[in-house]
Amino acid sequence: MNGNPMLVACPHCGAMNRVARDRLAQAPNCGKCHKALFVGTPIAVSSVDFDKHAQRSDLPLVVDFWAPWCGPCVAMAPQFEAAAKTLEPQVRLAKVDTEADPALGARFDIRSIPTMVLFNGGREIARQSGAMGSAQIVAWVRANLPR
C-alpha cells in the first residue's frame, strides 16, 4: 500500500481501517461493513465511540459540542454540515450532544455551547466557542491544523 497508510475509524461500525493517504479522496470503503468511510456530513459520536475517532484514528477530528435546546447550536448545524463537505476526507467532523452525553462535555470541560474542539493525534490542539458560518469553520480548522 503506497501513500503512507493511516488508520481511519469507520463512521458506521467503528472498525479501524488502514487507508493510504493518497487514496483518501478515492471514496474508500470500510473493510468490515463495506460502507463509505467518508459521508460528507458530521457523524454523531458518544462516550462509547469517541476515542476511536479522536485518539485511535489518524484523521484530525473537529467536534461540535452542542445541545438541542441551544438556539445558536441549532442555527450552526447546517453550517457545520456544509463545512464537513469541504473538509472531508482530510478532516472528520463530529457532533456530541452534551444533553444526551454529559460525561463527554464534562471530560473536556465544555462550559458554553456551541464549542468546537479540534483534536489531532489524540490531543486537543484548538478550541472555539460560539456559532460560526461554514467558511469561518473551514478557515478556523485549516488555520489550526499542523502543517
Task: Give pTM, 2 decimals.
Answer: 0.94
Residue labelled with grid coordinates 469517541: 50
Q: Quick one: three-class SS letters along the chain?
A: CCCCEEEEECCCCCCEEEEEHHHHHHCCECCCCCCECCCCCCEECCCCCHHHHHHHCCCCEEEEEECCCCHHHHHHHHHHHHHHHHHCCCCEEEEEECCCCHHHHHHCCCCCCCEEEEEECCEEEEEEECCCCHHHHHHHHHHHCCC
Say if residue 2's pLDDT is above 90. Answer: no
- Give 85-131 pLDDT, tens digit per residue: 999 999 999 999 999 999 999 999 999 999 999 999 999 999 999 99
Q: Which domains does the chain have, with CATH numbers?
A: 39-144 (3.40.30.10)
The Cα 63–Cα 141 span in angstroms is 11
Report the chain's mean pLDDT, rounded to a whole number: 94
Say if residue 138's pLDDT is above 70. Answer: yes
Q: For position 1, what pLDDT does the model report?
A: 41
**How many other CB atoms sit within 10 Å of the CB of residue 30?**
20
pLDDT range class, residue 3, cuts 50, 70, 90: low
> What positions carry a catalytic annotation?
70, 73
Say if residue 62's pLDDT is above 70. Answer: yes
Q: For position 82, what pLDDT does the model report?
A: 98
